[in-house]
Amino acid sequence: MNRYPQLRHELDELHRMGLTRSLRQTEYVAKSQGTWIVANGQKLLNLSSNNYLGLSYDPRILHSWEMASQAFGAGGTSSRLVVGNFSCYDHTEKMISRWKEREAALVFANGYMANLGCITALLDRHGAVYSDRLNHASIVDGTILSRADHYRYRHNDYEHLQYLLRKHKGNHRRNVIVTDTVFSMDGDKADVEELVRIKHDHGVFLMVDEAHAGGVYGKSGAGLCHQYGVHQEVDILMGTCSKALGLYGAYVCADQVVIDYLVHTCRPLIYSTSLPPALISAIGQSVAIVQQEDWRRKELYRKSKQFRMKLQQAGLLVPAGDSPIVPLLLGDNQTAIQYSKLLEQEGILAVAIRPPTVPENSARIRFSLMATHSDEDLAWATHKIIRTAIELGVIT
């Protein structure tokens, strides 16, 4: 009996277009630091994780989690504005603000809620968001929920951004430029120096999402804005704890007045139970490690550069760049799905990325490297990736 024929029809249509998805049950292989996983009983080299620095299994972080659980209990138990604001929150937020060299920081449940919360707190139907076309979905959704006018500029096209700012000048009470600094599906970067110049020229707010740059770029891993020395000029620096920090959660750094404003107006913060105190403590430990262990960034950069170069030399369509996100552009959805399946049969987990996550006709395999991948594993994987491309006729 089909109780929902319209839903079934829509699912069938997604299947026809090669856009269906499924949940994959995975387990980490012991002592591999997340570089190998087991899925459906098969051991696979993990080239799909955002655990860039390999910290998710670090014993120091796990110990911090365990100690905080014993001290504070398992859960947050309420909103931070009720009785969920444990002392470890204050400690960790001060660590993050010092790391980011800003007056204050505020921890959120995750990056989606941080972007959603900041945009909807800062803007209403009298405001405007100027957003890069390839920004993360959380930025798009936050803009929609804010009811602000939404102007999307062509990807990294700052002449187009300035055209839009001039065109709509004086029409809104508040204007905010929002961009990723490292784009999650392409691995390319925003020109943060140019964005700061535009922000000053037009007298608008600038908010950046450093989710895929935090821990990877800049002094002590503080992010791309730090690498270019413009972090003090950005109004809101958002980052996540779920990528290079190896955990879960997110944070926003800004002047104290901005953080105070968010505490009073940010609905995802006000109306959400606080994160478990053990997680907050573990985030603080991870931030300390990220700052101290520069070797992780150096290894990540070296391995990413070498991996990217080998694929390019084989003739695969891999854009230039220096991030650990290495997209192999294929275009066709079915080709991407088939490529991913063949790699899995060879022992490699590399997920096919398709619309709406990426634009139409730009399906790809998104490889994602970790500092803790061994050179031997990456050399083995590179050989398999190139051989599979030849089998599929992607290259000759």
User: Is residue 76 helix, strand or coil?
Assistant: coil
Radius of gyration of the chain (CA): 22
Residue 261 has pLDDT above 80, yes or no: yes
Averaged pLDDT for residues 42-60:
95
Helix (H) or strand (E) holding 44: strand 42-46
Strand order in the sheet with 174-180: 104-108, 250-254, 236-240, 205-209, 174-180, 127-132, 149-153
Chain-centroid distance of CA 363 in Å reads: 19
Q: Which of 31-40, 189-198, 336-345 has the lowest mean pLDDT?
A: 31-40
Quote the Cα angle for 199-200-203, to 5°.
Answer: 80
Token pair of 136, please?
A: 């993360």
Q: Residue 331 belongs to what H/E stretch?
A: strand 325-331
Strands 205-209, 236-240: pairing kind = parallel
Measuring CA to CA, which residue among 202, 207, 143, 139 is closest to residue 177? 207
pLDDT tens digits for range 83-121: 999 999 999 999 999 999 999 999 999 999 999 999 999
Using one digit for the tens of pLDDT, what is the confidence trace for 180-222?
A: 999 999 999 999 999 999 999 999 999 999 999 999 999 899 9
Distance CA 238, CA 115 (A): 8
H-assigned helices in the chain: 5-16, 59-72, 87-100, 111-122, 137-146, 158-167, 192-202, 224-227, 256-265, 267-270, 277-292, 294-313, 333-345, 375-392
Mean pLDDT score, 128-139: 97
Rounded mean pLDDT of the chain?
Answer: 95
pTM of the shown model: 0.93
Q: Which of 80, 75, 77 is nearest to 93 (CA)?
A: 80
